[in-house]
Amino acid sequence: MHSRVMTLRIRPATRADADAIAALHLASYRAAYEGLLPTEVFDGLRAEDRRRRWHVSMNDPQRRTLIAQAGDGAPAVIGFAEVGPSRDDDAEARTGELMALHVMQSRWRQGSGRALHDTAVATLATLGFQVATLWVLTGNSRARAFYEAMGWNDDGTAREHLAWGIQVPEVRYRTVHPGHQVQESPHSRGGARGPGMTA
């Protein structure tokens, strides 16, 4: 059984992290979406596509990616989050988006998601976003429970979104004044750092 108390280090990702993030992203798709998406989707996932996606993202000056690492200096990436301006056509001014948040399955429910989330929304606040939204697969009850625990609300907007070559049902969540609800958690104490971090 994993200890629930661990030291985490949250830091901005660099281009050198892109391949490790891509690998975790791919593994997380299987862990999170098996049973929610047709099996053909998983057969069609390509590591190269994920790597390309992250190399493009790392070069986008409007986006910020954060990664979680074990505080003991282990190099493995435990999780990552990505934020930036909302991509929605109906977004009001100063609306940011939490574009991705994934934690390695073996580390679920140990506080890494919360630590990444808190730094991600604090980053959005620092960038001047007053509202933030995210899209989540309608059937992803684990992630929905997590976001609700983090203070987000289903804003009543649903869509069919083309992803992985199929239309997937998604719902939008929203939080106002991102970063304000952030409180120090026992999981992040002494490890997670705010958006001004330099390490």
Ligand X SMILES: CC(C)(COP(=O)(O)OP(=O)(O)OC[C@H]1O[C@@H](n2cnc3c(N)ncnc32)[C@H](O)[C@@H]1OP(=O)(O)O)[C@@H](O)C(=O)NCCC(=O)NCCS
Instruction: Give the interface with ligand X as residue ranges (CB under 6 A).
Output: 28, 32, 101-103, 108-114, 136, 140, 142-143, 145-146, 149
Q: Which is nearer to ligand X, 18 or 118 (CB)?
A: 118
Cβ distance 92 to 108 under 8 Å?
Answer: no
d(CA 196, CA 199): 9
Least distance between ligand X and beta carbon 99 (Å): 9
Q: Which is nearer to ligand X, 144 or 177 (CB)?
A: 144
Cβ distance 106 to 178 under 8 Å?
Answer: no
Long-range contacts of 146-155 (CB under 8 A, 24+ apart): 146/113, 146/117, 147/173, 150/114, 150/117, 150/175, 150/181, 151/175, 151/181
Q: Which amino acid is at 193?
A: R
**Residue 51 burial by CB count (10 A; 0-12/13-18/19+): exposed, middle or buried?**
middle
Least distance between ligand X and beta carbon 192 (Å): 11
d(CA 150, CA 117): 8
Q: Of all residues in this chain, which one has the CB nearest to ligand X in the complex?
A: 113
Q: Which is nearer to ligand X, 36 or 127 (CB)?
A: 36
Least distance between ligand X and beta carbon 126 (Å): 21
Q: Which is nearer to ligand X, 58 or 143 (CB)?
A: 143
Q: Which is nearer to ligand X, 54 or 146 (CB)?
A: 146
Least distance between ligand X and beta carbon 63 (Å): 16
Least distance between ligand X and beta carbon 132 (Å): 13
Cβ distance 190 to 10 under 8 Å?
Answer: no
